[in-house]
Amino acid sequence: MNNGWLTMRLNSLFNYLWMQLIWFAAVLGAANKIVWPVLVLFMVFVVSVLHSDNRVKGDFQLMLVAVVVGFILDTTWVKVGWLEFTSSSGASHLAPWWIILLWASLALTINHSLVCLQQKLWLAATVFAFASPLSYAAAAKLGAVTIVATDWLWFCVVGASWAIAVPLLLWLGHYLRQLNSAESQHD
């Protein structure tokens, strides 16, 4: 077995598991108003992805785009009255900081553990169309968010928004990798 292949697979697994750990820390932290664990985990994750041998040029830019997209989407769900996030900041009319950290963390999986979906955008759209509303529902069960909507419209619209947003991020991640690869060849 090729050591490079094994190392790449282990790095992808580590990246995926780290994202899941951040999700639990963010959700449980929001529900219990405990801030520091998710901040520490997020900072370690950012440093490990952006300053490692596995760093992919464009990850930081992708993270910024994901933060903007996530802020717009999650603030929209609050404004239309579908979701109420638990927040220690008191700014309940905006997406809370902890969910923005989750979007930033998601961006750091795009060129790593989710890279296999960059050529399978329809699969990504389908998976995230169902997984994302279920993630909000799980966060609600754990006390980090309240799903105020009483019908399935929120489930469909949130799912559709993620079915667009994640493939867009995957496409952008692939584009930035190709762009940076082409620039490196010209240097």
Residue 151 banded pLDDT, cuts 50, 70, 90: confident
**pLDDT number for residue 155:** 94
Nearest to 12 by CA among 62, 52, 66: 52
Q: How far apart are CA 72 and CA 51, in angstroms?
A: 28
CA distances from 55 to 40, 68, 113, 161, 170 (A): 20, 22, 12, 28, 16
Residue 1 banded pLDDT, cuts 50, 70, 90: low
User: Which region among 52-66, 77-91, 135-149 has the lowest average model confidence (pLDDT)?
Assistant: 77-91
Q: How far apart are CA 58 and CA 178, in angstroms?
A: 10
Residue 23 has pLDDT above 90, yes or no: yes
Share of the chain above pLDDT 70, in %: 89
Number of Cβ within a 10 Å radius of residue 88: 13
3 or 141: which leads in pLDDT: 141
Contact in structure between 96 and 87 (CB atoms under 8 Å): yes
Exposed, middle or buried, 42 (CB in 10 Å: 0-12/13-18/19+)? buried
pTM: 0.92
Residue 174 has pLDDT above 70, yes or no: yes
Euclidean distance between the first and the last CA atom of the chain, given in angstroms as a whole number:
33
Q: How far apart are CA 49 and CA 111, in angstroms?
A: 10
Residue 5 has pLDDT above 80, yes or no: no
Average the pLDDT over 133-145 and give the result: 96
**pLDDT number for residue 86:** 84
Q: Tokens standing for 162?
A: 């993620």
Residue type, 186: H
Q: How far apart are CA 173 and CA 181, in angstroms?
A: 12
Q: How far apart are CA 102 and CA 37, in angstroms?
A: 13
In the chain, where do the E strands start and end? 83-85, 145-147
In 60-184, where do the E strands start and end? 83-85, 145-147
Average pLDDT, whole number, for the chain?
A: 90
